[in-house]
Amino acid sequence: KQEVTQIPAALSVPEGENLVLNCSFTDSAIYNLQWFRQDPGKGLTSLLLIQSSQREQTSGRLNASLDKSSGRSTLYIAASQPGDSATYLCAVSGGATNKLIFGTGTLLAVQP
Amino acid sequence: GAVVSQHPSRVICKSGTSVKIECRSLDFQATTMFWYRQFPKQSLMLMATSNEGSKATYEQGVEKDKFLINHASLTLSTLTVTSAHPEDSSFYICSARSGGDNEIFGPGTRLTVL
C-alpha cells in the first residue's frame, strides 16, 4: 500500500530565504507526482506535475525534483515571500486506477 | 483554464439531517470525478471515484449508504451525506478529470454538523 510522507510538518522562515520541502513515498511504481498548494479553508492549486520519466519541473521560483528509485521528491522555493505561506501537499498517482495518494502536508509560514 | 466549482461552500446542519454537495466542471466534460474528505490538520483522503453513468467506487472504510454519490452528467456529480452526525463534520473536496492526467480540484465545502 502506497504511503506518502512529508517532512517537515511545519516550517517558518524569514522572507527571502530559499527553502526545500521533502516528500517520500514507499512504492516507486508511480505514474506521476504532483505538488499542490492549499490556502486555509480552500481547495487545491496544482503547482507542478512530474511524470515518472522526468527528473524535475520548474515554474517561476519553484523547482520540483523526482528520484523515483529512492522514492523521494523535493520542492525548492527560491526567494520566499509572505504570499508563499500555505500548506504544500505532494501526491503520487499510480496503479490501475491512477488515484492520487496525498502526503500529510507541510505548513509553511514566511515571515515578513 | 479548466475550473471546478462546488456548492455550497459551507453548510451547517443538525444531526440526523441529509446534506447534498454539488460538484460541477464549468468548461469541460468530466468523465471521472473524485470526492475527498479532509479533517483538520490532516491530508486529503479519497472517499470515492465516480464515473458518469455508472455506480461510484468507494474506498475501503467509506460507507456507500451513508455517502451517496450521483454522477448523472458529464459536468455534475453530487455527494449526499445522509443522516449526518457531528463526526461527519469535515472539509469535502471534489475533483474532476477529463481523461488526461490532471485532476482539477474544486474549492471545497465545509460541513459542520451540530
Give the pLDDT score at A96: 65
Facing B106 at nearest CB: one of A43, A49, A101? A43
Q: How far is A59 from chain B (nearest CA, A)?
A: 17
B103 in reach of chain A (CB within 8 A): yes
Would you call B43 and A104 a contact, using CB atoms and an 8 Å cutoff? yes
A112 in reach of chain B (CB within 8 A): no
d(CA A86, CA A110): 9
Q: Residue for cell digits 498517482? A: A93
Facing B107 at nearest CB: one of A36, A43, A51? A43
Mean pLDDT in residue range A65-82: 96
Short-list B24, B63, B67, B62, CA closest to B46? B62
Q: Which residues contact B55 (CB under 8 A, 6 or more apart)?
A: none
d(CA B16, CA B106): 26
Give the pLDDT score at B66: 96
Q: Which residues contact A73 (CB under 8 A, 6 or more apart)?
A: A22, A23, A24, A25, A33, A35, A50, A64, A65, A66, A67, A90
Highest mean pLDDT among A88-97, A101-110, B99-108: A101-110
Per-residue confidence of chain B (114 residues) as pLDDT tens digits? 789 999 999 999 999 999 999 999 998 888 899 999 998 888 899 999 998 888 899 999 999 999 999 988 889 999 999 999 999 999 999 999 876 667 899 999 999 999
pLDDT confidence bin for A98, thresholds 50/70/90: confident
B98 in reach of chain A (CB within 8 A): no
d(CA B55, CA B113): 27
Give the pLDDT score at A56: 96
Classify A88 as helix, strand or coil: strand
Q: How far is B42 from chain A (nearest CA, A)?
A: 6
Residue A44 has pLDDT above 70, yes or no: yes
B45 in reach of chain A (CB within 8 A): yes
